[in-house]
Amino acid sequence: LSQKLSNLFPSSSRGDADSLTKVFFVNSGSEANDLALRLARAYNKKQQNNLHLQKGKQPKQCIITIDHAYHGHTLATLDVSPYKHHHGTEITECPAYVKRIPYPDMYRGEHSNCKDETEATEQYSAYGEDACQE
């Protein structure tokens, strides 16, 4: 089954170098997001260790999330679900390593006064770029 699923992706069926080689089966979106966070942290830790050894720099961790987003109810996903920081009882503050950016809403959002989609896209994209630089 996993081979059939991975073959659905174009690069896998062509045998490209960036082909999908792993498939993880999970029971829910919460588990999928939790797994994605764990995989990203594992990959990032490996990259940071390599960078730290090469240049002596201190590695940092950062996750960018959209404000009011929901990612699930596991402990890891609660940290990156800002809606819980505003309305929840178990987590009242956003962890320092989580950077929240506004939801890109052209009709009711912070940049609803933009003249067109291109201008709004540039405005909202700047939040993501700024979060990456922090």
Read off the pLDDT of each residue in 7-35 and give the average, rounded to a whole number. 77
pLDDT tens-digit readout, 102-115: 988 888 888 888 88
What does each C-alpha distance from 80 to 21, 69, 132 come to in angstroms? 27, 8, 16
The pLDDT value recorded for residue 127 is: 92
On whether the CB atoms of residues 106 and 122 are closer than 8 A, the answer is no
Q: Full-prediction pTM beyond 0.75?
A: no
